[in-house]
A and B are shown apart, each in its own frame.
Chain A
Amino acid sequence: MSTPTLSQPPRHRREDEFTGERHVYVPHSVGLPPLRSYVHELWRRREFAVELSRTQLREQHFNTVFGQLWLVLNPLLLAFVYFLLVDILRRSTSHDGQFFAHLMAGLFVFYFIHNSITVGVKSVTKGGRLILNSAFPRALLPLAAVITAFMRFLPTFIVYIPVHIATGLPVGPELLWIVPIFALFALMAAGLSMLVAAAQVYFRDLSSFLPYVLRIWLYCSPVLYYAERVPERYRWILDVNPLGGLLTAWSDVLNRGHAPETTSMLLGLAWGAGIFVVAALFFMSREREFAVRL
């Protein structure tokens, strides 16, 4: 019987954990893996996230004509339903096409967030054997959900374009603002996806509450109404709503034809970056535990 021991004291080169041919595993003092090699490995395995997203889409029959059609038709019908609903509630006599464009654009981008969350929430708990048997940055799983949501958002946005033109909304260089605004939406989607995916490991009923939370969130967001029509005493709802600033900016650019206000952009940036950083730290500090929690 013998237990050979190391002659030299352990060198804690934490950056060696994932990279290269040499791997060192030591306890994590603060629960966080070494960030640099984590991000490096994450990027090295981006193909995995893309492929995982592709299989998710295939499950939803994204690769067939009718499957694609349904993915476009579904949010489109939803936009019609909400348009009728809001139209009736407003008791307006004039049917406002530009409002329909606003509703559509807002609803589609809201559903990008919505899908990131609903696909992402089960990404870790469904990862089962992959998580038990291979070592890889787990954040790839919720991030793949964001790619899936984006692939589902793209065709709906293409459907929006003719509506935008038909309702006579301006087309100009200020439309380029949608790129940074959407980047912030994506940042927030990635954060929220990681947050719910990690939380789902500890609270398996989270995914059944989420649809209600998301529905209420939609009603609190300037999608079914214009942000500026919100009465003064309810303005705070838009300020505390993480999507308030971004959706206002989104509608300003797409449906009002002017650059977004600095305050709504800053609000969106603060919420987006804040949620992303908090969620990423939470997810990474917990991910080493997933293998024993599944």
Chain B
Amino acid sequence: MSSLSVSERTAISVDDVSVTYRTSFERAPTLRSTILRLGRRERVVREIEAVRDVSFDVPHGTVLGVVGANGAGKSTLVRTIAGILPPSEGRVEVHGRVSTLLALGVGFNKKLSGRENVVLGGLAAGLKRDQLAEKYDDIVRFAELEEFMDMPMRTYSSGMYGRLAFSVAVNMEPDILLIDEALSVGDARFRRKSAEKMRELCGQDRTVVLVSHSLGTIQELCDRAIWMDRGRLRMWDEPDAVVDAYTEFLEVGQDAVTLEDV
């Protein structure tokens, strides 16, 4: 197996990272329930070890696929790389500008218009106004939402929502693109378009981390893959090998559903 040392070519280096967080059982924690609970000594927080002792390096220009069952820690891992969740142990080092496209879209407030959301998301990501203005037209054109940009996002369909999120992420011209199960948005045409865009980005010496349940996409787009299983790194190999082992593990076989293309 190839083992990579840390060099200038390393885009992401994850070193013995564990992410543990405490989460509350209560749906919405309130002062009232806290006071009511005071005398009773109930345990309401639970520690969740989402990611345990994971290490891997991603060289520049690699498209890394991440597979794993629901709750395996894939999204937590990606959020840690994005700097949203701090690791509880270990160290993550990222070289380059990161753009995230995580499962829920890009920081969108449904009451605001598409335009306001794009501007706010871009500014939060650290872009300057003029940089944003430059990219704005490309974002809108790629998402094909020209006539909807001034409407509140709550009027958007989920496909439009996903298209805008994807378009924002890929047009930020990131060095490192983190994508969490977002390729399966829009209609067949937009899926093809986004797959093409992905291929284009992958060909430009960019690093992509792609979390997907669509194993066909992983096989097609990625040149490395990791398999997360209950917080641990189970496998780190060529995509075909990982997909084979993973499907064998799941005992589902490579049928049309698991291989469903982008």
- Interface set of A (CB-CB < 8 Å, partner B): 1-8, 10, 12, 17-18, 21-28, 41, 44-45, 47-48, 51-52, 55, 59, 126-136, 140, 202-206, 209, 288-289, 291-293
- Interface set of B (CB-CB < 8 Å, partner A): 1-6, 13, 15-16, 21-24, 28-32, 34, 54-57, 79-80, 82-98, 100-102, 104-109, 111-112, 116, 119-121, 123-126, 128-129, 175, 233-237
* CB closest chain-B residue, reference A205: B30
Interfacial chain B residues near A8, Cβ < 8 Å: 6
B123 near A17 with CB under 8 A, answer no
Rounded to whole angstroms, the CA-CA distance of A18 and B21 in the bound complex is 22
Rounded to whole angstroms, the CA-CA distance of A128 and B49 in the bound complex is 23
B86 near A129 with CB under 8 A, answer no
Contact A292-B28, Cβ < 8 Å, known A1-B235, A10-B15: no
Shortest distance between the CB of B102 and any CB in chain A (Å) = 5
A292 near B237 with CB under 8 A, answer no
Shortest distance between the CB of B143 and any CB in chain A (Å) = 17
Rounded to whole angstroms, the CA-CA distance of A130 and B128 in the bound complex is 17
Shortest distance between the CB of B149 and any CB in chain A (Å) = 14
* CB closest chain-B residue, reference A13: B93
Interfacial chain A residues near B4, Cβ < 8 Å: 4
Interfacial chain B residues near A22, Cβ < 8 Å: 93-95
A4 near B3 with CB under 8 A, answer yes
Q: Which of B23, B94, B109, B126 contacts A136 (CB 8 A)?
A: B126
Q: Which of B1, B106, B125, B129 contacts A1 (CB 8 A)?
A: B1
Rounded to whole angstroms, the CA-CA distance of A47 and B88 in the bound complex is 31
Interfacial chain B residues near A27, Cβ < 8 Å: 86-90
A23 near B94 with CB under 8 A, answer yes
Contact A134-B124, Cβ < 8 Å, known A10-B91, A27-B88: yes
Shortest distance between the CB of B21 and any CB in chain A (Å) = 5
Shortest distance between the CB of B245 and any CB in chain A (Å) = 9
B23 near A2 with CB under 8 A, answer no
10 tightest Cβ-Cβ pairs between the two chains A and B: A130-B107, A2-B1, A48-B123, A135-B83, A203-B31, A205-B30, A25-B92, A23-B94, A4-B3, A10-B91
Interfacial chain B residues near A126, Cβ < 8 Å: 109
A288 near B30 with CB under 8 A, answer no
With most chain A CB atoms within 10 A of its CB, the pick from B34, B84, B112 is B84
B120 near A48 with CB under 8 A, answer yes
B56 near A21 with CB under 8 A, answer no
Shortest distance between the CB of A254 and any CB in chain B (Å) = 36
Shortest distance between the CB of A14 and any CB in chain B (Å) = 11
A45 near B124 with CB under 8 A, answer yes
B104 near A132 with CB under 8 A, answer yes
B86 near A133 with CB under 8 A, answer no
* CB closest chain-A residue, reference B31: A203
B84 near A203 with CB under 8 A, answer no
Rounded to whole angstroms, the CA-CA distance of A24 and B120 in the bound complex is 25
A24 near B91 with CB under 8 A, answer yes
Rounded to whole angstroms, the CA-CA distance of A34 and B3 in the bound complex is 32
Please name 7 further chain A to chain B contacts, defined as beta carbons within 8 Å, in addition to the given A26-B92, A204-B29, A288-B85, sorted by A numbering: A4-B57, A6-B13, A22-B93, A24-B94, A25-B94, A47-B123, A134-B84
* CB closest chain-B residue, reference A4: B3
Rounded to whole angstroms, the CA-CA distance of A41 and B127 in the bound complex is 11
- Between A and B, 17 residue pairs with Cβ closer than 8 Å are A1-B1, A2-B236, A4-B55, A4-B56, A6-B6, A23-B92, A25-B91, A27-B88, A47-B128, A130-B121, A132-B104, A134-B106, A134-B107, A135-B98, A203-B29, A204-B29, A291-B84
Contact A52-B98, Cβ < 8 Å, known A2-B1, A130-B107, A206-B31: no
Contact A5-B93, Cβ < 8 Å, known A26-B87, A136-B126, A288-B85: no
B6 near A132 with CB under 8 A, answer no
B112 near A55 with CB under 8 A, answer yes
Shortest distance between the CB of B254 and any CB in chain A (Å) = 20
B30 near A133 with CB under 8 A, answer no
B175 near A21 with CB under 8 A, answer yes
* CB closest chain-A residue, reference B18: A27
Q: Which of A134, A206, A209 contacts B100 (CB 8 A)?
A: A134
Interfacial chain B residues near A52, Cβ < 8 Å: 120
Rounded to whole angstroms, the CA-CA distance of A61 and B235 in the bound complex is 54
Rounded to whole angstroms, the CA-CA distance of A292 and B49 in the bound complex is 13
A133 near B102 with CB under 8 A, answer yes
